[in-house]
Amino acid sequence: MLVETFDPFNHLGISALVAAVPIILFLLCLTVFKMKGLHAALLNLAVTFAITFFIFKLPAGESVGSVIQGLIQGIFPIGYIIVMAVWLYKISVESGLFDTLRGSITSVTQDQRLQLLLIGFCLSAFLEGAAGFGVPIAICAVLLISLGFQPLQAAMLCLIANAAAGAFGAIGIPVGIIDTFGLEGVTAMDVSKISALTLPITNFIIPFVLIWVLDGFKGVKEVFPALLVTSTIYSASQAFMTIFVGPELADIIPSLITLGALTLFLKKWKPKNIFSLNEKEMKIETYSFGEVVKAWSPFLLLTVYVLIWSSTTFKGLFAEGNVLHNSIVKFVIPGSSINMSLDFIGATGTALLLACITTIAITKTINFAEGLALLKRTIIEFWTPIIMICAIIGIAKLMTYGGLTTALGEGVATAGKIFPLLSPILGWIGVFMTGSVVNNNTLFAPIQATAGHIIGTNPALLVAANTVGGVMAKIVSPQSVAIATAAVGMTGQESTLTKMAIRYSFAFLFFVCIWTFVLSLFL
Residue environment code for 302-334, b if the CB has 16+ CB neighbours within 10 A, otherwise e? bbebbbebbeeeeeeebeeeeeeeeeeeeeebe
Q: Give the pLDDT confidence score for residue 94 in this predicted structure.
A: 92
Phi-psi region of 378 (alpha: psi -120 to 50; beta: other; left: phi over 0): alpha
**Residue 437 near residue 473, CB atoms below 8 Å:** no
Q: pLDDT per position in the chain (523 positions), as tens?
A: 799 999 999 999 999 999 989 888 887 887 788 787 788 889 999 999 999 999 999 999 999 999 999 899 888 877 887 788 778 888 988 999 988 887 887 788 889 999 999 999 998 898 888 767 677 888 889 889 888 899 999 999 999 999 999 888 766 878 887 876 667 788 889 999 999 999 999 999 999 999 999 999 999 999 999 999 999 999 999 999 999 988 877 888 899 899 999 999 998 999 999 898 876 565 667 788 899 899 889 878 887 887 788 788 998 999 888 999 999 999 999 999 999 989 999 887 898 899 999 999 999 999 999 999 999 998 988 888 788 878 877 887 898 899 887 887 788 778 788 999 999 998 998 888 767 787 778 767 877 887 888 788 899 999 999 999 999 999 998 888 888 898 888 888 888 999 999 999 999 999 999 999 999 998 8
Q: Residue 311: what are its φ and ψ, rounded to 5°? A: -70, 150
Q: Give the pLDDT confidence score for residue 105 in this predicted structure.
A: 77
Pick from 346, 417, 112, 128: which is nearest to 253 by CA?
A: 128
> Residue 133 corresponds to which amino acid?
F
**Residue 179 near residue 187, CB atoms below 8 Å:** yes
Tell me the C-alpha to C-alpha distance, in Å, between residue 132 and each of 138, 146, 238, 438, 448: 10, 22, 17, 11, 24
The whole-angstrom separation of Cα 217 and Cα 223 is: 10
Report DSSP letters for 34-57, one per residue. Answer: ---HHHHHHHHHHHHHHIIIIIS-
What letter would DSSP give residue 332? E
The whole-angstrom separation of Cα 349 and Cα 75 is: 11
Q: What's the whole-model pTM score?
A: 0.77
The 3-state DSSP class for residue 13 equals helix
What letter would DSSP give residue 246? -
What letter would DSSP give residue 277? S
Positive or negative torsion for Cα 284, 208, 441, 59: positive
Q: Give the pLDDT confidence score for residue 402 in this predicted structure.
A: 93
Q: Give the pLDDT confidence score for residue 77 in this predicted structure.
A: 79
Pick from 62, 162, 113, 131: which is nearest to 505 by CA?
A: 162
The whole-angstrom separation of Cα 276 and Cα 111 is: 6
> Residue 135 corresponds to which amino acid?
V
